[in-house]
Structure 1
Amino acid sequence: MSISDLYASGQHKQEMGHFASVVKIALVDNTVTEGEQKLLNRAAKKLNISEEEYQKILKNPDDYPVNPPIGYDESIERLYRLTKMIFADGNVDKDEVVLMRKITTALSFPLDNIEKVCDEALHLVMNDNDLDDFTAAIKKVNAV
């Protein structure tokens, strides 16, 4: 097995873990709405999740750990997708926000800044900011 094959499989495990995090947020209320389903389908396609993997993750998302990405921008992009999922059904559930904070911690954001980062993420997505604006704002709020 070549180095590129090892990297690719490690990268795919990260993508599966991230997709499982998105699924967990969608399933907090035990229902996947039409909006959440659309976001799940888009996320699966973007993350190269096969139909078989999709179904396995949907059944048991807790079987897939969050593997934080290597880059800071990738962590912010994952936070963006997670936050978009919270708003997909039109309701922001307290349990979703609690789970979001746990996942944000797993994405390697500083513990002492998790609440501020999550609050800003929610505000940005609620106001329809795109990924570029979201990234800039999160970097500003998370400046150390």
Structure 2
Amino acid sequence: MSILNIFLSGTQKKNRGHLANIVKIAKSNGKLNRDEIKLIKKVKEELNISDLAYRSIIRKPEQYPINPPSNYEERIERLFKLTDMLLVDKESYDLSVKLLEKLAVGLGFPLPTHEQVVKKAVEMVQKKVDIDVFAKEIKIANTVLKD
């Protein structure tokens, strides 16, 4: 365990895990492009993550656990941000979708619906809907069971 993580609150750990998930998606093609770095820095600021922790996350995002939020609304918000990150890099779209499906399960979306949830998430972010519309559509997708 890193010295950075010893005295963290639960919220700080979740925030670092969330940023690490975004970095994992961004690095799914092996590199970070300018748009991805810009979005990662924006999320870093929103989550109040220090520069030192940010550099550690960028270097080794796999060292940070997913730490899913216990609140369903927060899960949807995190899925929204992860999906937004996914759509930044068109080159690694398929690989990123596979990673996003894994992260959706890690966030607490059930196996029977996680693929439908990710499909709907991608569709909604591509349409550039706001978080309220996104949340409503994800809740519907999460209740539709696959045959």
Q: TM-score, normalised by structure 1?
A: 0.91
Report the residue type matching 1:39 in the other structure. Answer: L
CA RMSD of the aligned region, Å? 1.3
2: CA distance, partners of 1:113 / 1:79: 14
Q: Secondary structure at the match of 1:88?
A: coil
Which residue of structure 1 aligns with residue 20 of structure 2?
Answer: 20
Where has structure 1 moved over 2 Å in runs of 4 or more?
A: 89-92
Gaps of 5+ in 1: 1-7
Percentage of pairs with the same residue: 39
Q: Secondary structure at the match of 2:38?
A: helix
- Aligned residues of 2:113 and 2:143 also touching (Cα < 8 A): no
Which residue of structure 2 aligns with residue 57 of structure 1?
Answer: 57
TM-superposed CA distance for 1:90, in Å, is 4.0
Gaps of 5+ in 2: 1-7
Q: Secondary structure at the match of 1:14?
A: helix
Q: Secondary structure at the match of 1:120?
A: helix
Aligned positions, number: 137
Q: Secondary structure at the match of 2:29?
A: coil
Which residue of structure 2 aligns with residue 111 of structure 1?
Answer: 111
Which residue of structure 1 aligns with residue 129 of structure 2?
Answer: 129
Q: Secondary structure at the match of 2:113?
A: helix
TM-superposed CA distance for 1:143, in Å, is 2.4
TM-superposed CA distance for 1:91, in Å, is 4.3
